């Protein structure tokens, strides 16, 4: 009988005080970052219709559009335009936490633009 009373007293005294919260925040998981690297080329007119890049030249300052589409509905969930450097290399860093909608097309201009599109 005395052991039952002691056990009951210890159990009731331990549950009478609330537990303290953890002293530190749990570690945050690293953010996922997607990096795509590519080289933008201008294919020679003599090789039109082929995959050949034999006489191709890099396109400095080319604009590349990247669009991420929804799997089933084929809707664009993310769209962003990046510009290549002076050697034609594009290295966009994408943060998937901040999805953006594709912007509405701007009014057409009379000057032609050099753009390349990569759709994934």
Q: Give the number of residues written for the chain.
A: 120
Q: Tell me whether residue 61 is in a domain.
A: yes
Cβ atoms of 64 and 119 closer than 8 Å? no
Q: Tell me whether residue 83 is in a domain.
A: yes
CA torsion sign, 7 to 11 to 14 to 19?
A: positive
- What is the domain extent for residue 85? 31-104
- 5 burial via Cβ count (<10 Å: 0-12, 13-18, 19+): exposed
Token pair, residue 30, equals 């690293």
* pTM of the full structure: 0.49
Per-residue pLDDT of the chain (120 residues; tens, 9 = 90+): 555 544 444 455 445 555 666 667 777 766 667 888 999 999 999 999 999 989 999 999 999 998 888 888 888 888 889 999 999 999 988 876 655 555 556 555 544 444 445 544
| Domains identified in the chain, total number | 1
Q: Tell me whether residue 100 is in a domain.
A: yes
């Amino acid at each position: 009988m005395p052991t039952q009373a002691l056990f009951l007293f210890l159990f009731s005294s331990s549950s009478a005080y609330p537990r303290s919260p953890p002293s530190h925040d749990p570690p945050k998981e690293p953010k996922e970052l997607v990096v795509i690297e590519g080289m933008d080329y201008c294919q020679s007119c003599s090789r039109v219709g082929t995959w050949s890049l034999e006489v191709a030249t890099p396109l400095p300052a080319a604009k590349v559009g990247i669009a991420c589409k929804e799997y089933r509905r084929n809707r664009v969930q993310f769209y962003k335009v990046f510009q290549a450097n002076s050697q034609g290399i594009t290295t966009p860093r994408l943060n998937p936490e901040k999805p953006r909608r594709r912007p509405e097309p701007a009014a057409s201009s009379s000057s032609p633009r050099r753009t390349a599109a990569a759709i994934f």
